[in-house]
Amino acid sequence: MKVKILNIAVAVIAWCGAVFFVNAYQIDCPQKFNIKEEVVNMPDGWEVSNDINSKEASFFSMIVYYDKPSRMVALVPAKGTVDGKKHELIWEVNYKTDVEPYYVSCSYNGTRVELIKQIDLSMKSCWADYFEDEQGKRGTLSCSTSEAKDLH
């Protein structure tokens, strides 16, 4: 009997963990990274200045796109609630009603570099949170399988 109760308890805990994992997840934009520029086919008589050859890129902001960002279909965020919590920047990303996946793009100060990541297809809404600490600005995109409400 004790073994049966233990098995049921383990199954319930595993199920609860799986439900939480499926219902929400987050994407953290890399805060900083180094960029090394490379010039190919250097014209005769020219050289690259050492002060721009390598630089550190620091996080600036994020944008959510319908399909790959190269298609330039950026979504406009709204204010509203998800799972009863208010958020200032919410995007609807319901793949079930659309045919292309959604992506988050992280942009960086002083560069044209954008890092992109596909948003899990099971998500229906995402919201952005920005933080600042001694290392600089950070951004997190949190997503949920719940739909956003009260959007404006």
Tens of pLDDT, residue by residue over 100-130, are: 899 999 999 878 889 999 999 999 999 999 9
Could you give the angle at the alpha carbon of 116 between the alpha carbons of 96 and 86, nearest 5°?
60
Range from 9-13, 48-52, 67-71 that averages highest in pLDDT: 67-71
> Mean pLDDT, to the nearest integer, of 18-42?
76
CB 69 within 8 A of CB 103: yes
- What confidence score (pLDDT) does residue 143 get? 94
Calculate the alpha carbon distances from 10 to 7, 23, 41 in Å. Answer: 5, 20, 63
d(CA 108, CA 84): 32
Calculate the alpha carbon distances from 53 to 1, 40, 56 in Å. Answer: 69, 13, 11
**Where exactly are the structural domains of the chain?**
25-144
Q: Record the pTM.
A: 0.73
| Extended strands (E) in 49-135 | 54-66, 78-82, 85-92, 102-108, 114-118, 125-133
User: Residue 124 burial (CB < 10 Å; 0-12/13-18/19+)?
Assistant: middle
Confidence of residue 51 (pLDDT cuts 50, 70, 90): low
Hey, is 12 helix, strand or coil? helix
- What confidence score (pLDDT) does residue 18 get? 40
Element at 13 (helix H, strand E): helix 2-23
- What confidence score (pLDDT) does residue 141 get? 96
Computed over its alpha carbons, how large is the radius of gyration of the chain? Answer: 21
d(CA 54, CA 57): 10
